[in-house]
Amino acid sequence: MVWKETIRDEMRRIQRQMDRLFSNFWNTSDNKTNFLDKLSSNYRKAKADFIETENEFILEIELPGIEKEDIKLDITDSSIELKAEKKKEKEEKTKESYSYARSYTGFYRSIDLPIEADKENIDASYKNGILTVHIPFKKNIKQKKEVKVK
């Protein structure tokens, strides 16, 4: 576990250096926070399985500790974007002490949609920490058409 943490920390350090390098190359200010930098520091990448059946794609995404109300799922022209976040605050006051704790859990994932996906009829459900997204195929997209070469 320590080995994985060390590699992950090293990769993040290298990513920050690369971001600074390109930021300086393009003459952008370091004060501006890049959207992807913000996501990488505040969100974890949600684990996902992508299953293809005869009629649809099924996307199963693990979101432990997240409530259904905390999930935001957006469909773009070419991808599904998932953002889930949960914030907790706990404050305890006694005569002798004061305690304030805050915890934050967040997941982000952007997944490219296949060309065959029918974006208009996507359906999603959430149960026991698993978000299941059903993405049906477009009608008649799988049919072959022979093209004569001239």
Query: Quick check: 68 pLDDT over 50?
Result: yes
Tens of pLDDT along 5-36?
677 778 888 888 887 776 655 444 444 445 55
Q: Say if residues 46 and 63 touch (Cβ distance below 8 Å).
A: yes
pLDDT, position 32: 45
Q: Say if residues 119 and 57 touch (Cβ distance below 8 Å).
A: no
Per-residue confidence at 131, pLDDT binned at 50, 70, 90? very high
Q: Say if residues 73 and 81 touch (Cβ distance below 8 Å).
A: yes
Query: Quick check: 134 pLDDT over 90?
Result: yes
pLDDT, position 65: 83
pLDDT (average), residues 40-60? 82
Per-residue confidence at 133, pLDDT binned at 50, 70, 90? very high
Per-residue confidence at 140, pLDDT binned at 50, 70, 90? low
- Of the two residues 128 and 114, the one the predictor is more confident about is 128
pLDDT, position 27: 47
Q: Length of the chain, please?
A: 150
Query: Quick check: 3 pLDDT over 70?
Result: no
CA pseudo-torsion sign 38, 41, 43, 48: positive
Per-residue confidence at 39, pLDDT binned at 50, 70, 90? very low
Query: Quick check: 137 pLDDT over 80?
Result: yes
CB atoms closer than 10 angstroms to residue 73: 15
